[in-house]
């Protein structure tokens, strides 16, 4: 290929897809700056390793919770703004169970069920953790999933089902109302205080040439649980009759009804699967970060929406990949900008990628 032809192709690319060219230049500048930082010692390999690991952990939580939101959109055709508060509800129910099992006979039952509201009891004092109280943690994760399933089904039956035939905007606004009701009910019951939930977990050091990255037991638990559940969703969608029905309904609901697919049963399955994943994601998020507050899910919801949109609205695999991309962007961005703007950087990356690929990374493939 001659120089003239190379120049001509480059010019055509710049004219046809200027967003791709700009994105490529930005990435090149950032990588060059990173290389300079590594060469001068302003940035360390171990520091980058820590940020990548943290981004992967956050991305797994966002991706796992994003599956439920993406399923709701692809099957029911509306953005459920109550999804974030499902996350928090699952977290509180699961941690109330964990506190009760770990602290029974050592603290007041009421204080345990309120997850140590107002500092009445502390998770660190109870020694709560994957290695210290494995039964309590496993039971808490299970209850978080089951409780959120029940909550999602209850809200659907009493609130969403009666207006399912209305427009998407009606369902969206209704979900906002459900979100506020749930959030402030949890604030009333559990208080607005942010409390620590776990003891310091043991960690495994990974040595770099210029430092150490520590991976603790709660990180490993999050990787195992999130990866296992994501694999389970993949197998369900591809190998089971329910998965095929869900994909058919996401592609064309009217055609699915004509062919005899029990659509209401599929809708219930969506709430069950999505609710279970969402509750476990909320529980594992708190296990990983070690604190719990009544608005955790709401703060996480915007990142989940960003992940779902970035991956391609309606694509479950896109939600997973988008979650990882958002998590890594938020963590790694602090190399170049102040940490206070890390969340904004995640949304900026979403916008830039959508300018290049408007339908998202997975081109809007529904469900599968």
In angstroms, the CA 63 to CA 304 distance is 7
3-state secondary structure the chain: CCHHHHHHHHHHHHHHCHHHHHHHHHHHHHHHHHHHHHHHCCCCHHHHHHHHHHHHHHHHHHHHHHHHHHHHHHHHCCCCCCHHHHHHHHHHHHHHHHHHHHHECCECHHHHHCCCHHHCCCHHHHCCCCCCCHHHHHHHHHHHHHHHHHHHHHHHHHHHHHHCCCCHHHHHHHHHHHHHHHHHHHHHHHCCCCEECCCCCCEEEEEECCEEEEEEHHHHHHHHHHHHHHHHHHHHHHHCHHHHHHHHHHHCHHHHHHCCCCHHHHHHHHHHHHHHHHHHHHHHHHHHHCEECCCHHHHHHHHHHHHHHHHCCCEHHHHHHHHHHHHHHHHHHHHCCCHHHHHHHHHHHHHHHHHHCCCCCCCCCCEC
- What are the φ/ψ torsions at residue 215 (nearest 5 degrees)? -115, 115
Work out the burial of residue 55: count CB atoms within 10 Å of its CB; fewer than 13 is exposed, 13-18 middle, 19 or more buried.
buried
The larger pLDDT score, comparing residue 18 to residue 50, is at 50
In angstroms, the CA 114 to CA 121 distance is 9
Q: Which residue has the tokens 């994909």?
A: 247
Residues in the chain, overall count = 368
Q: Determine the pLDDT at residue 3.
A: 57
Q: Determine the pLDDT at residue 165.
A: 77
Q: Which residue has the tokens 């710049």?
A: 14
> In 10 A of CB 210, how many CB atoms?
13
Q: What is the mean pLDDT of the chain?
A: 85
∠252-256-260 over CA atoms, to 5°? 175
In angstroms, the CA 185 to CA 85 distance is 10
Q: Find the mean pLDDT for residues 315-330.
A: 89
Nearest to 235 by CA among 226, 224, 244, 225: 244
The larger pLDDT score, comparing residue 5 to residue 109, is at 109
pLDDT tens digits along 349-364: 888 877 777 777 776 4
In angstroms, the CA 337 to CA 23 distance is 18
pLDDT tens digits along 249-298: 776 666 666 777 777 788 888 899 999 999 999 999 999 999 999 999 99
> Which residues on neighbouring strands pair with residue 203, listed in sequence order?
216
Q: Strand 211-216 and strand 291-292: pairing?
A: unpaired
Q: Determine the pLDDT at residue 204.
A: 85
Token pair for 75: 């099957």
Nearest to 299 by CA among 175, 216, 179, 211: 179
Yes or no: say if 325 and 360 are a contact pair by the CB < 8 Å rule. no
Q: Find the mean pLDDT for residues 61-73.
A: 90
Yes or no: say if 286 and 222 are a contact pair by the CB < 8 Å rule. no
The whole-model pTM stands at: 0.88
Q: Given pLDDT bands bounded at 50, 70 and 90, which one contains residue 39? A: confident
Please write down the long-range contacts of 47-53, taking CB distance under 8 Å and 24 or more positions apart.
47/211, 48/332, 48/335, 49/206, 49/208, 49/213, 50/213, 51/331, 51/332, 51/334, 51/335, 52/328, 52/331, 52/332, 53/213, 53/215, 53/219
Q: Determine the pLDDT at residue 149.
A: 96
In angstroms, the CA 137 to CA 104 distance is 14
């Amino acid at each position: 290929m001659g120089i003239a032809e190379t120049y001509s192709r480059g010019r055509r690319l710049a004219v046809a897809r200027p967003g791709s060219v700009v994105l490529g230049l930005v990435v090149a500048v950032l990588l060059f700056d990173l290389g300079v930082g590594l060469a001068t010692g302003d940035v360390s390999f171990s520091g980058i390793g820590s940020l990548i690991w943290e981004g992967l952990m956050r991305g797994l939580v966002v991706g796992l919770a994003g599956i439920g939101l993406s399923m709701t959109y692809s099957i029911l055709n509306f953005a459920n703004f109550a999804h974030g508060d499902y996350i928090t509800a699952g977290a509180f129910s699961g941690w109330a169970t964990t506190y009760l099992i770990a602290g029974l006979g050592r603290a007041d039952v009421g204080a345990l069920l309120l997850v140590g509201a107002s500092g009445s009891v502390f998770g660190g004092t109870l020694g709560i953790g994957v290695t210290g109280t494995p039964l309590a943690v496993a039971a808490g994760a299970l209850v978080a999933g089951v409780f959120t399933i029940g909550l999602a089904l209850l809200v659907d039956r009493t609130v969403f089902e009666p207006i399912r035939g209305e427009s998407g905007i009606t369902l969206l606004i209704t979900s906002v109302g459900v979100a506020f009701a749930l959030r402030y009910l949890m604030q009333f019951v559990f208080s607005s205080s942010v409390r620590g939930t776990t003891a310091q977990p043991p960690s495994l050091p990974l040595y770099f040439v210029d430092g150490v990255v520590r991976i603790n037991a709660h990180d490993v638990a999050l990787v195992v649980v999130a990866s296992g559940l994501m694999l389970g969703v993949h197998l369900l969608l591809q190998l089971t009759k329910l998965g095929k029905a869900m994909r058919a309904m996401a592609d064309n609901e009217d055609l699915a009804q004509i062919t005899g697919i029990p659509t209401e049963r599929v809708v219930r399955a969506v709430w069950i699967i999505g609710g279970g994943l969402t509750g476990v994601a909320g529980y594992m998020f708190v296990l990983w970060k070690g604190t719990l507050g009544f608005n955790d899910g709401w703060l996480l919801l915007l990142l989940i929406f960003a992940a779902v949109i970035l991956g391609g609205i309606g694509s479950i695999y896109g939600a997973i990949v988008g979650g990882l991309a958002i998590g890594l962007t938020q963590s790694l961005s602090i190399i170049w900008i102040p940490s206070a703007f890390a969340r904004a950087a995640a949304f900026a990356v979403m916008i830039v990628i959508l300018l290049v690929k408007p339908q998202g990374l997975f081109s809007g493939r529904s469900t599968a």
